[in-house]
Chain A
């Protein structure tokens, strides 16, 4: 074996890197760095999938989440939805193959990398040795039950059992057994679900915590957000690695066809222009381009003026829905929400929504409650690394009646929810925890904050005015007694006469003052419904739109009926 070159040896090592090893090396980036985070990531991936599936199928989501601590720091995680279900043949690949279903077309969705749920399955298998159980019904009267694991060397699904039983309805249920730690507080699963409920007010979520306590997050909006449409990649959002992969995989016969068929906003003229700028022949076959050719092509793309991508592909939640979500979960006394028109950052359309909730049940002391969202998913970790946080810190909150020491977090009874939707959310890392800093995005966030805060300021000043008016009225009544006594002593008028006259005068003056106040408040946007609370009977009467699947009846699962994967 002395003939073997070092490179050969290295090549062998490269090949032998298994999926398990890949996971081990990257688990911090994938959200599994510790037991606490791992548990929340498993829940999050499954809930994201469930919500995406429901929205794609235009079904108002109904999600059931349950955690059971079956051993010390070992949890059974159950997530069930009323979505469309998954066709039997696709089940193994979706749940037990990493990177399955990666796509070049862009579409706003919660999951972005195609790692999510299979990573959770792999984590379950690596941390507890247990298989994952999937139930799926597509509405054909059958329920398919799979026990799955991932073959860690081939990254292929292994089916340990596969049975079909009779059952009506539709939906998917996943049961994972994972190592984890359950905590309370700001970065807890309960808080994550609450935050999800704010930005997904059209979903009904039931959560059963490890103590068996059940929390219900009701549906307050009976319509789904507009559907996200998939679009082709815009040339300005392209990275060189992706360009190389696209060139290799395309079926287009020449460069012009390649550009016009694989990208959005590229017509024949633009395609020819790109080729001319890069000095390449328009008739070249894409698969034959050398590395240098690719590089000059990449440079040329950036130099050509291309129409901005279409922005009607996005699915924002909308101002009214966010208002209702904020109202039901935080119960502030005033809410203002701004949903900005779509904009574009480096070739990707995106849109910013900002909601401010003030007063009411919110804490009067301490820092404001900032909740960040990307494509309707709350971002729980790495708040300080996120450009959303930076935009909040940089805003001048004092101007809007909120206390803030220089360059620090504002304080007071304020909840700030900031939502970015995009076909491609620029996270700072694979962990999907923080939004990277792009000027175009920061600008939109700032504008939205300003616009929403201006409305809030009007409300706060009006509130201050009302308080002052009340204080005044009180002061007049408090001080008038001594005035009356003194006047009765100084003059010859009977005390009662002075008292009656004075009280009449005070009431008259206050009336005039209240009229003043109403005029001062004119044009202030305070929707009565949000001040007085939403009528609760408008909630959850929307079942006609979906088929009630009565999911919670799926047969219970015994712990002992599981194999342990070695």
Chain B
């Protein structure tokens, strides 16, 4: 695959290498300078409702014992990305990990011991070269699924997302090249669990309600977030998010809406600030008499709730109220608890009622 940015990105990588060789030839410690990607350096902008990376920067120094390994790994990733661009190939981040993993001669160590070592370095490289993962010819492992009255053109093929049976469209990491040929949907419903998506598909919810269903399968992947953003921006579709009624579900909503801390530098491209939260809420428990099917909060849940309360972008009255209600009741509620009424309850009553009443949280 070829991008317009290829030349620019390859040049940025080369400049990074030149910086290091210049350090070496002038007998100074070779270093990288990169933005700090920690909570302390994340800022919430109230005006556009997005998370941004602050201005704090750190230095990665080969001669700092604690940095040496990471320094070496960063250059390996950079070198491999330059190769991918030159060869017009795109690799998954897992493939990148395996391509770079090798034994370091004279030791029992490998260059990388796990993908969790290489993944953050990709994000570092993105910030250092001012480019996106996709422009580095890397893709995240695809995750996310789509159903609905939407026709897409992908690599010249026409895909009708309403005729994909119970399989749906597996959302790839790179969706910027999608062309939306036709759309007969009224809104996008983002759903946390794939099991819930399966339920809604079996009930033909998307067809009967003119909805585009996007199943996340847990935390939202970049491809899914980018696609939600494109549907919202290009097709002007409203986006509703439907997750479990617990801090983990609420955080998924905040990632779709305001961006994630890890990828704060990409919030503008990935986040959909005008999306709305549909449920589950603590009010749902009362309004739909779900008291008997709630679960008790565990210590980790409580800890997470308090963390959310400390985030700037959760400091809105209705979210504080929601989270505090959860704490005081000591309960959480899962999407699938709605099955306690009947299997079709969620498709026939819960969702249509909530959407009709516009019972959303911002």
Q: Which residues does A use to contact B, with CB under 8 Å? A: 468, 472, 475-476, 478-483, 485-487, 489-491, 493, 498, 501-502, 504-505, 508-509
Contacts and interface: CB of A to CB of B under 8 A. Distances in A.
B132 interface: no
A505 B20 CA distance: 12
A484 B21 CA distance: 9
Interface string B160-189: 000000000000000000000000000000
Contact of B21 (A479, A487, A509): A487
Interface in B15-43: 16-18, 20-21, 24-25, 27, 29-30
Contacts of B206: none
A464 to B, nearest CB: 14
A475 B109 CA distance: 11
A472 B111 CA distance: 17
B25 A481 contact: no
Interface residues of B, number: 31
Contacts of B109: 478
B106 A478 contact: yes
Interface stretch (B47-55, B71-79, B148-156, B196-204): B71-79
Given A498-B21, A509-B29, A490 B82 contact: yes
B72 A483 contact: yes
Interface string B75-117: 1101100110000000000000000000011110101000000
Contacts of A485: 79
A472 B65 contact: yes
B78 A501 contact: no
Interface of A, secondary structure class, is: helix
B18 A491 contact: yes
Contacts of A489: 79, 82-83
A483 B75 contact: yes
Given A486-B79, A489-B79, A476 B68 contact: yes
Nearest to A469: B65
A287 to B, nearest CB: 82
A496 to B, nearest CB: 13
A483 B71 contact: yes
Nearest to B106: A478
B350 interface: no
B69 A487 contact: no
Contacts of B105: 478, 481
Contacts of A479: 62, 68-69, 71-72, 104
Contacts of B136: none
A409 B111 CA distance: 42
Nearest to A493: B21
Contacts of B68: 475-476, 479
B2 interface: no
Contacts of A472: 65
A490 B72 contact: no
Contacts, number: 76
A125 B75 CA distance: 86
Contacts of B16: 490
A476 B75 contact: no
Interface of B: 13-14, 16-18, 20-21, 24-25, 27, 29-30, 62-63, 65, 68-69, 71-72, 75-76, 78-79, 82-83, 104-107, 109, 111
B63 A490 contact: no
A475 B76 CA distance: 17
Contacts of B25: 501
A509 B13 contact: no
Contacts of B75: 482-483, 486-487, 490
A483 B30 CA distance: 11
A307 B174 CA distance: 95
B17 A476 contact: no
Nearest first, the 6 A-B pairs at minimum CB distance are: A490-B17, A486-B75, A486-B79, A491-B17, A479-B72, A489-B79
Nearest to B104: A478
A475 B24 contact: no
A490 B80 CA distance: 9
Given A475-B65, A509-B63, A490 B24 contact: no
Nearest to A475: B68
Given A478-B106, A505-B30, 5 more contacts: A476-B68, A483-B30, A489-B82, A490-B13, A490-B79
A486 B65 contact: no
A522 B18 CA distance: 41
17 contacts: A468-B65, A476-B62, A478-B106, A479-B69, A480-B62, A481-B105, A482-B104, A482-B111, A486-B78, A487-B20, A490-B16, A490-B17, A498-B24, A501-B24, A502-B24, A505-B30, A509-B29
Given A490-B13, A490-B75, A491-B14, A478 B107 contact: yes
A11 B83 CA distance: 110
A412 B13 CA distance: 51
Give the most central of A475, A479, A485, A498: most B CB within 10 Å: A479
A498 B72 CA distance: 14
B29 A490 contact: no
Given A472-B65, A475-B65, A486 B21 contact: no
A486 B62 CA distance: 14
Contacts of A505: 24, 27, 30
Contacts of A487: 17, 20-21, 24, 75, 79
B27 A508 contact: yes
B19 to A, nearest CB: 10
B21 A491 contact: yes
A485 B72 CA distance: 10
